[in-house]
């Protein structure tokens, strides 16, 4: 089943250049259907990671539980980024071609606290990664031939394709479309890593 998921993701990314021109232009705007789909996918990734973390804790699988626990802040940061740190809830105007615009972060009621909070989350995350040697986990799984290399490569390819769609092809829908597949790829990669960790115990 996982094998088919990987190739479905790859097919989606490869076909995105041909599919996205037929999608409504508004789907590529900020606060659009594709943007909210990305948020939903990331929230799903967060909820699944929390569930896997609790499962590992309940079976006293400490290494897996620790790795999954410190993956949670990454999902939170990605969700915050997709929501433009809350700017999507503060529209400031609308353009017929470019879609809605939003208040700058500095004008939000809590704007001054966003960057310091992000910095704190990153510093605490780095502390956990270094203290518990979590950076060694992917390397160990690669050595044991258990790391989902193919899933990760497809995920990276989806991110690269999204960047190409925006920066070079000027296809906003392609960027948003491929980011959906990239985030699904992250969930698939996380699931495979979770399974590999449980089997390594």
Using a 10 angstrom Cβ sphere, with 0-12 exposed, 13-18 middle and 19 or more buried, the burial of residue 57 is middle
Residue 179's contacts (CB-CB under 8 Å, 6 or more residues apart) are 34, 38, 158, 159, 162
Instruction: Look at residue 32 and tell me whether its pLDDT is greater than 80.
Output: yes
Reported confidence tier of residue 14, pLDDT bands at 50, 70, 90: very high
Instruction: Look at residue 199 and tell me whether its pLDDT is greater than 80.
Output: no
pLDDT in tens, 138-181: 999 999 999 999 999 999 999 999 999 888 888 889 999 999 99
- 3-state class of 71 per DSSP? coil
Distance CA 79, CA 169 (A): 26
pLDDT in tens, 54-88: 999 998 888 899 999 999 999 999 999 999 999 99
Q: What is the pLDDT of residue 121?
A: 95
Per DSSP bridges, beta strands 91-95 and 99-102 are: antiparallel
| Per-domain residue ranges of the chain | 2-200
pLDDT in tens, 118-145: 999 999 999 999 999 999 999 999 999 9
Q: What is the pTM of this model?
A: 0.93
């Amino acid at each position: 089943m996982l094998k088919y998921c990987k190739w479905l993701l790859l097919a989606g990314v490869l076909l995105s250049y041909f599919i996205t021109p037929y999608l409504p232009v508004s789907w590529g705007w900020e606060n659009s259907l594709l943007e909210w789909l990305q948020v939903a996918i990331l929230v799903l990734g967060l909820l699944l990671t929390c569930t896997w973390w609790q499962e590992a804790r309940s079976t006293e699988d400490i290494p897996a539980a620790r790795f999954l626990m410190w993956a949670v802040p990454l999902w939170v940061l990605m969700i915050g980024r997709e929501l433009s740190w809350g700017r999507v809830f503060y529209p400031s105007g609308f353009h017929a071609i470019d879609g809605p615009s939003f208040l700058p972060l500095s004008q939000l009621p809590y704007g001054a606290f966003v960057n310091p909070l992000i910095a704190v989350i990153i510093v605490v995350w780095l502390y956990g990664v270094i203290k518990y040697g979590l950076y060694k986990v992917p390397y160990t799984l690669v050595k044991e031939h258990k790391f989902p290399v193919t899933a990760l490569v497809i995920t990276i390819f989806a991110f690269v394709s999204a960047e190409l769609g925006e920066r070079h092809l000027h296809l906003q829908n392609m960027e948003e479309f491929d980011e959906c597949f990239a985030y699904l790829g992250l969930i698939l990669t996380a699931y495979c890593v979770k399974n590999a960790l449980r089997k390594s115990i």
